[in-house]
Amino acid sequence: MNIIINGFKFMIDLFYGLTGDFGIAIVLLTVVVKLIMLPFSIKQRIAMKKQISFSKKIEEVKKRYNNNKKKQEEELNKLYLGSPKGLLGCLIPILQLPIISGLYMTINRLQVEAMTILIPWAMNIGSADDKFVVPLLYTLITIAPSIISYLNIFSNEEKSISIKSILPMIIFGLVITIKAPIALGIYFITSSLFTLIEDIGFRLYSKNKVFS
């Protein structure tokens, strides 16, 4: 883990040297890391789509042969033999974890007393945002994927998250950022915004596609 953290620290120093702004350096580092992990993230999304499609096929077979258990079992066995293997979808988050954790720890350990053009009202990105703009912005971006699922253009076969389910996400978002250093908030916002753009792009890409 120290190797990953040291690598990220080097990159932050590099970006700071190029921009002269720690806030922008954090944004650039976060975007670079997210771009590196993008192919794995897309594979994970595709694996989830395939799993949803497979579950639907199982339900269809169960309904079609509800009164013929022998035929139902035969058809289910055929499905299972040709089913997508879910191991990749499970492994990808595990492989991403050291990178995500390393990035978080790198930014959280930053000992800086500096301003950033991104948060002009804050005198020090090493302290919490006393205007609470960063926590609110992060929370709104975090719940945005759940909200856009209600729009027809972004809807798909996945179930939309209920309003009641969004409330805990709002509370969690505020809790983890309200006392956090602004530097960490910039990382959270950048990461969530990248994920939101990725989510919108994938929804549009997969809207009329069949994954099997």
> pLDDT tens, 24-83?
999 999 999 999 989 888 888 888 888 877 788 888 888 888 877 788 788 778 777 766
Residue type, 128: A
Query: Residue 183 and residue 129: Cα distance in Å, rounded?
Result: 10
Query: Residue 115 and residue 23: Cα distance in Å, rounded?
Result: 8
Contact between 18 and 182 under an 8 Å Cβ cutoff? The reply is no
Query: pLDDT tens for residues 95-144?
Result: 677 888 888 888 888 877 888 999 999 889 989 999 999 999 999 998 88
Report which DSSP code applies to 155.
-
